[in-house]
Structure 1
Amino acid sequence: MAKRERGSWGGVETTRSRSQDGLTVTTMSNIGDSQLESPVLELPPLKVKDLPTISTRNHEVFYKLIGSMVKETKASSGIIWNSMEDLEQSTLATVRQVFPVPSFPIGPFHNYFPASSSSLLAQDKSSISWLDTRPPKSVLYVSFGSIASMDEAEFLEMAWGLANSAQPFLWVVRPGLVRGSKWLEPLPSGFMETNGGRGYIVKWAPQQEVLAHPATGGFWTHNGWNSTLESICEGVPMICSPCFGDQMVNARYVSNAWRIGLQFESGMERGVVEKAIRRLMVEKEGEEERERILCLKEKVGFCLKQGGSSHHYLESLISYILSF
C-alpha cells in the first residue's frame, strides 16, 4: 500500500505517493489555468502544462507499473539512448545519476538506416517532384505524424492560416487526421485553387527526404522525438504543435532551450497561424532560429563521425556486448 503526502511542486498542489519499494510518484491536482503556466523549478525550462500525464483510475496499479520499470532499468545491463551528448549533455548527466548502469547515447538512430525503412504508410513521392519546382528554403512542410488527430474546427483554422500566410506549403493530411472525416472533406470547395498552386497536399510523404530537400525552409510538427531529431539533423527550424506525451517536453526544448523554433501556446486560430508561419519563413526572428539550428546540425553531424560522441558510444556499446 502506498503512503500519500500533500505538498507542492513548482507552485502547484501535489500528492506524493510512496510505495513500499521506496518509489515516489508525484501527481498534480486542482490545477487552474494560471498554474499551468508556472515554471517547474526542478525541471527548467518546463512549465507545468508540459509535464506528461497519464489518465488512470487505479493509481496503485500505475505506481506499481512505474516502480517496476524503474527497478528493472536499474537492474539492466545498460541503456541505449536515441540522443546525443552534444544535444542533451546535462540531461544525460542527471539520468546517469538516477540509473547507475552503462549508458550509450548513440543517436540519432535514423541516420543508421535508409530513409524508407521507418515509414508506416505508403509514401507519395510526388511531394519531392513538387518541391523540385520551388525556390530554396521557401516551403513550409506540415506533418503531425501517424497517430495525432484534431477536430474539424482546428483543421479549418490550420488550413486558412496556411492559405493566408501566402507561403508555399507541403501538407501531409493523413486519413484519420481529422476526427470524423475520411480525408479532405472539411476543406471548403475550391480551397486549393484559391492558393494559386502554392500548396500541395499528400496523404503521406517521405519525411527524411522532404526535410533534406533544399526547398524546405520550415517544419510544422507535433514534435514526436523522431520528427524533432530529423528536423535538427537537416537544419530545419520548427513550428511546434505538441499533442500528448513527451511531445510537450520536446516542443518546450525546441522553443525555449535550444531556441530553434516557436510554439503555439494558446490554441490554433487562423490569425495566429498566419503570423507564426510568416515569422518563421519570412521575418528576422526566423533567420535567427535558422542560424541556431544550422549550428546544432553541425554539432549533431560531428557526433556520428570518428571522434564524435555517438561514434564513441557506439564503439563502446559493441565492445560491451562482445565482453559478455
Structure 2
Amino acid sequence: MGKPHIIAIPCPAQGHVIPLMEVAQCLAENGIKVTFVNTDFNHERIEKALQQKGNINELIHLTSIPDGLEPWEDRNDLGKLTETILKVMPEKLESLIEQINRTENDEIVCILTDYYMGWALEMAEKFGVKRAAFLPTSVALSALTMNASKLVDDGILDNNGTPLKKQAIHLTPNMPEMNPVHFTWACISDFETQKIIFQSILQNNKSLKLADYLICNSNYELEPEAFAMVPNCIPIGPLLATNRLGKTSGHFWPEDTSCLTWLDQHPPHSVIYVAFGSFTVFNHTQFQELALGLESTNRPFLWVVRQDLIEETDESYSYPKGFEERVKNHGKMVSWAPQQNVLSHSSVALFISHCGWNSIIEGISNGVSFLCWPYFADQFLNQSYICDEWKVGLRLRKDDDSGIIRHGEINDKVEYLLADRSYTERAMNFQKNIMDSVRGGCSNKNLNKFVEWIKKN
C-alpha cells in the first residue's frame, strides 16, 4: 500500500506559507505524501527563491493554481484578492484533485487547509476525504474572528465590521486586551476592502465547522485562556524548522546567508535584529528615522531592508546622507534573512519586530526580547501578548504630532531593554517551556496523533 497522499493549501501570504510548509515537512518526515498548492504567482516566487536550496523533501510536491488576478495586478489589494480567490480557486482545486486521483496510484485522502481558506474544507467534503485546518496565527485571533457575529450583536461592531466603540475589550477577563480599531479587518483604511474581508470572515466561520481536525502553531504555555475559548484547537507549535528539520522553505525572496557569517563576528547578546516581515511599508520620513535610531544606539545591528519596504513616492529611496559609510563597521543591511537561524544565533540580543505571529514564535522560542512596531492585522493583538501578558518586550511610541516613531524613542527603548535583563530572562523561561513541548512533550504528542489520524483508514 502506498503512502497516504494529502493536499496542503495555504493562504497566499508569506506568513501563512512558511508555517504550513513546516507542517508539510513534518508530515513528509513521517511518511505522508504532500501536494503543496500555492497560487501561481507565489509558486513562481518560491521556485526562484528555492534555487539556492535544492529539494525540500522527496515527499513534498510543489504545484499551483490561479488566484484569479493577472500577473501584473496588485496582490496587496486584499479585497480584490479575497474576491477572486473565492471565485476562482475552488474550481481550480477541484480540477487538481480530480487530476491527481486519475493519474496517481494513491488518491488524495485529506485536505489540510489554512484556517482562513475554509472553503477548501467544503471541497474536502465534496470528495469525501478527511478535513483538517491549520491555524498559522495566534489562537486569540481565532477566538476573535469566531466571535465576529457576537461582536455585532453586542454593539461593538456594525454589520460591516466597523468599530462602534473605541475602548479596548477583553473576550474573557484574562485574554489580552484588544482595541476594535485594530481588529484585523478594521485597520484596513479602505472601507470597501474592510467590508469584503469582514464578510469573508463570517463565511469562513461557517466553513470551519466542517473541519474534523484543527491544529495550530501555538502552545498552551503561551495562550492558556485562548485555548479555553477554542478547545478544539490542538497545538503542535512552535513550528521551527531549525529545531525539527534543519531548514525553512516557502520564502518569497532568496535569503542572504552572509549575515550569519557576520553574526559570528559579534559577541553574545550584542546585536539588534530588525525585520518587519513581508508586508510592512514605511514612508520616507519613518524609514530615515529608523535608520538614524539604529545608528544612534552605536550598537551592532542587522537590518532586513526589503526592496519594497518604503512607499513608492516621488522621493528617492535612500538612507540618510552618509549613513552607510558611518555604520559600515557595525551595521549590516540585507534584503531578506534566514530569520530562524538569525534569531537562534547567540549574538542576537533584541528583535525590533512588526509582531507577526511567525516572528513572535521564532523570537520567543529563542529567548529573545522584543521592541514592538506593529503595522496592521493581528500584529497589535500580538503586541499585547508580548508587552502585557508575557512581559518580554516594550512598545515603541509614536510622536503625538507627526505619528512618526522618532530616532530618540528607538535609541531610548533599545537602551532600556538591554539594561534590564528581566525581559530576556522571562523570554528564556518561555523558551525552555515551549521547546520542551516540541521535544517529546505535548506539542510533539499532538503532532504524532495528527499523523496517525491521517494514516488511519
What TM-score do the two structures reach when normalised by structure 1?
A: 0.82
Worse-matched range after superposition: 74-83 or 116-125: 116-125
The secondary structure found in structure 1 opposite 2:306 is coil
Q: After TM superposition, give the deviation of residue 115 of structure 1 in Å.
A: 2.7
Q: After TM superposition, give the deviation of residue 66 of structure 1 in Å.
A: 2.5
Contact 1:85/1:105 (8 A) holds in 2: yes
Q: Deviations over 1:171-220 (max 9, x none)?
A: 11110101127999421332122236121111111111111111111111
Q: After TM superposition, give the deviation of residue 39 of structure 1 in Å.
A: 2.7
Out of 147, 156, 167, the residue aligned to residue 279 of structure 2 is 147
Structure 2 CA distance, aligned partners of 1:58 and 1:170? 35
Q: After TM superposition, give the deviation of residue 70 of structure 1 in Å.
A: 1.0
The secondary structure found in structure 2 opposite 1:87 is coil
Structure-to-structure mapping, 1:174-189, within 5 angstroms: 174-180=306-312, 185-189=317-321
Worse-matched range after superposition: 116-125 or 254-263: 116-125
**Alpha carbons of 1:122 and 1:46: their partners in 2 closer, same or farther (altered >3 Å)?**
same
Contact 1:86/1:303 (8 A) holds in 2: no
Q: Does 1:211 align with 2:343?
A: yes
Worse-matched range after superposition: 58-67 or 79-88: 58-67
Q: Does 1:45 align with 2:179?
A: no
The secondary structure found in structure 2 opposite 1:316 is helix
Identity between Structure 1 and Structure 2 (%): 29
**Alpha carbons of 1:124 and 1:26: their partners in 2 closer, same or farther (altered >3 Å)?**
closer
1:268 is matched with: 405
Structure 2 unaligned residues grouped into runs of 5+: 1-148, 399-403
Q: After TM superposition, give the deviation of residue 58 of structure 1 in Å.
A: 8.0
Out of 422, 430, 436, the residue aligned to residue 296 of structure 1 is 430
1:108 is matched with: 238
Q: After TM superposition, give the deviation of residue 254 of structure 1 in Å.
A: 0.8
Structure 2 CA distance, aligned partners of 1:230 and 1:264? 20
The secondary structure found in structure 2 opposite 1:273 is helix
Structure 1 unaligned residues grouped into runs of 5+: 18-24, 97-101
Contact 1:119/1:206 (8 A) holds in 2: no
Structure 2 CA distance, aligned partners of 1:196 and 1:61? 46
1:280 is matched with: 417
2:454 is matched with: 321
Pairs aligned (count): 295
Contact 1:255/1:261 (8 A) holds in 2: yes
Contact 2:214/2:233 (8 A) holds in 1: yes
AA aligned opposite 1:39: A
Structure 2 CA distance, aligned partners of 1:115 and 1:26? 39
**Alpha carbons of 1:254 and 1:61: their partners in 2 closer, same or farther (altered >3 Å)?**
closer
**Alpha carbons of 1:184 and 1:170: their partners in 2 closer, same or farther (altered >3 Å)?**
farther
Q: After TM superposition, give the deviation of residue 63 of structure 1 in Å.
A: 5.7
Contact 1:79/1:103 (8 A) holds in 2: yes
AA aligned opposite 1:153: T
Worse-matched range after superposition: 256-265 or 175-184: 175-184
Q: After TM superposition, give the deviation of residue 265 of structure 1 in Å.
A: 3.6
**Alpha carbons of 1:126 and 1:63: their partners in 2 closer, same or farther (altered >3 Å)?**
closer
Structure 1 CA distance, aligned partners of 2:260 and 2:177? 36
Worse-matched range after superposition: 115-124 or 171-180: 115-124
Worse-matched range after superposition: 181-190 or 231-240: 181-190
Contact 2:152/2:161 (8 A) holds in 1: no
Out of 155, 169, 189, the residue aligned to residue 301 of structure 2 is 169
Structure 1 CA distance, aligned partners of 2:330 and 2:306? 20
Q: After TM superposition, give the deviation of residue 27 of structure 1 in Å.
A: 3.2
Contact 2:161/2:195 (8 A) holds in 1: no
**Alpha carbons of 1:27 and 1:134: their partners in 2 closer, same or farther (altered >3 Å)?**
same
Q: After TM superposition, give the deviation of residue 314 of structure 1 in Å.
A: 1.1
Worse-matched range after superposition: 203-212 or 110-119: 110-119
Worse-matched range after superposition: 260-269 or 206-215: 260-269
Structure-to-structure mapping, 1:1-324, within 5 angstroms: 8-9=155-156, 14-15=157-158, 17=159, 27-29=162-164, 35=166, 38-42=167-171, 44-48=175-179, 49-54=181-186, 55-57=190-192, 64-96=199-231, 102-111=232-241, 112-180=244-312, 185-195=317-327, 197-266=329-398, 267-281=404-418, 283-284=419-420, 287-306=421-440, 308-324=441-457
Structure 2 CA distance, aligned partners of 1:299 and 1:182? 49
Q: After TM superposition, give the deviation of residue 258 of structure 1 in Å.
A: 0.7
